[in-house]
Amino acid sequence: MKKILFGFLLFFIAGNLYSQEKLPTKSVYLELGGPGLPYSFNYDFRFDKEKVDSWGMRLGFGGFAAEGESFFSIPIMANRLMGKGPHYFEIGIGATFFTFSQQEYGYAGCVNCVTSSDYNFILDVDGSPSVMGTLNFGYRKVPVDGGFMWKININPIFNNNGFWPLFAGVGFGYSF
């Protein structure tokens, strides 16, 4: 009888250990639009490693360089996922730090004149480097066991020159 009870106990403990899955509380993804502005590569993690539907943070970088213009951004955002896997509503608030340069070709033989005023990316920007506030409201699909994830969101952006409520983003990547 003791052997049978020991066997059931061992089976119960092993079954519980096997059934405890590691929840996908981290993600890496590419986002077009969104808080990174034109695009960004992001790392997202939950502060509570046991719950996907909790507070977390994302860090990223993005940018481009073409035809005399360059742009580099670093989006940082606190966010919260709400819902039950694999479907989550995502909210967040953060800031995007960015720098840019552009060249003017024109007057009096000026070929490589770098200017930092009158730059516009959705909203007017006073100079470089600069910061833009970002909000996030959207949907994120994170598989319960991890794997391919995707998201779509509205990202209102703001700075001292105004507010643009209809900026959006779409992202896809991997959760683990």
Report the CATH number that the domain containing residue 93 is assigned in CATH.
Answer: 2.40.160.20
- In this predicted model, which residue has the larger pLDDT, 11 or 50? 50
Residue 157 has pLDDT above 70, yes or no: yes
Q: 């250990």: which residue's tokens?
A: 17
Kindly report the backbone phi and psi dihedral angles of residue 85, in degrees, each rounded to the nearest multiple of 5, phi listed first.
-55, 140
Average pLDDT over residues 30-44: 95
Domain count, the chain: 1
Contact yes or no for 61/44 (Cβ under 8 A): no
pLDDT tens for 114-127 read: 454 556 778 888 88
Across the chain, mean pLDDT equals: 85
Which whole number is the average pLDDT over 129-154?
96
- Confidence bin at 69 (pLDDT 50/70/90): confident
Percent of the chain with pLDDT over 70: 78
Q: Positive or negative, the Cα torsion across 149, 33, 116, 76?
A: negative
Going by C-alpha positions, the residue among 8, 157, 160 that lies closest to residue 168 is: 157
Residue 13: enclosing H or E segment and its boundaries?
A: helix 2-19
The Cα 131–Cα 161 span in angstroms is 11
pLDDT of residue 5: 47
What does the alpha-carbon distance between residue 118 and residue 74 come to, in Å, rounded to a whole number?
21
Range of the domain at 13: 2-175
Rg (the chain; Cα; Å): 23
